[in-house]
Amino acid sequence: MKLFYAPGACSLSPHIVLRELGLPFALEAVDLKSRTTASGADFTAINPKGYVPALQLEDGEVLTEGAAIVQYLADRHAPGTLAPVAGTVERARLNGHLNFISAELHKAFGPLFNAALAPEAREAAVANLHRKLAIVGAALADGRSFLTGSDFTVADAYLFVVLSWAPHLGIDLTPWPRLGAFRQRVSTRAAVQAAMAAEGLPKAA
């Protein structure tokens, strides 16, 4: 397998999952501005959407969309471990977390990557993001270590990656101490540290 990624982007989530599962894989970085890979290939020929992640399987098939990739990896290589078995209520809850992180939380961070964002637009974007952070922070209530309970799942990998953008974008997580504690807890996992090191990322503060 080969994972096409950009350092620190949402592709870090399947990267972490690949390492959690101990699977053999190759990495190839993508320049998202020129949409070319480190080997000089046209990335849009691999993924017409033009963004990471993309996972090329052994038979040449290419999977896209991080939430779909991590579920495939978990189901194919370790059923019932990093994701509950399909068709169960527990799996539906996991999917709910993945969908919220993807469609709401990840999306809410998006405008803040625009350095030219007008002050009033940034203020509105931050307020929207704060509402999403409060919701996901509440999901970690009742002493939960991870989103679905005591076990680390693919949804936790995705949440960790999205939260890791906060300090780089000037977002203070201290109003949601559960989120800060979650980020720190996940950052100590061997697979997370290995993935971040491979992408040249600093350790989580």
Cβ-contact 176, 130 below 8 angstroms: no
- Please list, in sequence order, all residues whose beta carbon lies within 8 angstroms of the beta carbon of residue 39, skipping any fewer than 6 positions away: 28
When pLDDT is averaged across residues 153-163 and rounded to a whole number, the result is 98
Q: So where are the chain's domains?
A: 2-80+193-198, 89-189
When pLDDT is averaged across residues 97-106 and rounded to a whole number, the result is 98
Amino acid at position 74, single letter:
A
- 140: number of CA atoms within 13 Å, CB side? 20
Q: 169-191, pLDDT tens digit by residue? A: 999 999 999 999 999 999 999 99
- Tokens for 182? 């979650």
- Tokens for 102? 């993807």
CA–CA dist 55, 57 (Å, integer):
6
Pick the CATH number of 89-189 from 1.10.1740.10, 3.40.50.300, 1.20.120.430, 1.20.1050.10: 1.20.1050.10
- Tokens for 45? 């020929």
Residue 205 pLDDT > 80: no
Cβ-contact 29, 37 below 8 angstroms: yes
- Tokens for 151? 């076990």
- pLDDT for 17 equals 98
The structure's pTM equals 0.96
Residues β-bridged to residue 42: 36
The CATH architecture assigned to 2-80+193-198 reads 3-Layer(aba) Sandwich (3.40)
Tokens 């931050």 belong to residue: 126
